[in-house]
Amino acid sequence: MCKVRQLVIAAGGVGSRMSPELNPLRSKALMTFRGEPLIHYVISWAKEAGFDQFFVSVNEHNLGAIARVVDRLRINAELRQTAHCFAAVPSLFKDLLDDRFAVTCGHCPVPSSHWIRLLKAAQVHECVNTAYSNPANPTTNLRRILLKRRGLQEYYSSADLAFDVVPDDHTYTRNPYVVTKTIIDEVERDSFRRTAGYFIYEHWRRGGSMSSIPACMPVEFDHDSEWERTLRFLSEQRAAA
């Protein structure tokens, strides 16, 4: 399969569930660690892993600041302003995207080591997800794609924690992921009610090729208490450098 070189970064949200004390600029991507905005780490680590084309959704609050980060890192990037949800972001750049590309969040620093593993899997599988352990990465998102491994085989199922009984010790999939334009078309036809992650699962159910890479970083944060996980992780990365 062709090498995945393009990365879509969703950074257009305003972080409305975060407190103004932690998110004064109304952009989680601009929250800082050691003087650098989170999107600086997102882009620089992805660049280290081999991505060379970046597509970033922005909002009116962060356009200028993110443009300065892009200029400083000297990357090939397209910035487009949007007020749409995460599910709709890849469609914003569909006219410029290859048949396959990666998607992540602008406030979720993904180490180059994870990207390298994910891109290696993408040489074999059409779609690749990231797998998170629920005990280590609890999230308020109730609709999930669950992963069970039996030997070398991976099995997936869809669950809604509001109705389904799911053990606490489960593994779920989420971004970052490698996805196809065909799947983004399905997201559009669904009126962006579900993210590409759900349609990657549907792709697998229809017999499509899919795999998941265990996360070495915390899942993206939406609330103040969840930010602490990302802060600890970045501190550990700095200490190990």
Give the HSE-up count for residue 48: Cα atoms under 13 Å, Cβ half-sphere: 14
pLDDT of residue 119: 97
Model confidence at 151, pLDDT cuts 50, 70, 90, reads confident
Among candidate residues 219, 200, 216, the one with its CA nearest the CA of residue 127: 200
pLDDT of residue 226: 93
- Residue with the bigger pLDDT between 31 and 61: it is 31
pLDDT of residue 80: 96
For residue 15, pLDDT beyond 90: no
Report the top-level CATH class of 6-240.
alpha beta
Q: What is the pLDDT of residues 38-93, one digit of tens each?
A: 999 999 999 999 999 999 999 988 999 999 999 999 999 999 998 778 999 999 99
Q: How far apart are CA 78 and CA 60, in angstroms?
A: 16
pLDDT of residue 56: 97
Residue 174 C-alpha from the chain's centroid: 7
Q: What percent of the chain has pLDDT over 70?
A: 100
pTM: 0.96
The CA–CA distances, whole Å, from 43 to 76, 108, 168, 176, 241 equal 11, 10, 33, 13, 18
| Sign of torsion over alpha carbons 197, 201, 204, 206 | negative
The radius of gyration computed from the CA coordinates of the chain, to the nearest angstrom, equals 17
Q: Which segment of 81-85, 105-109, 178-182, 230-234 scores lowest on mean pLDDT?
A: 81-85
Where along the chain do its domains lie? 6-240
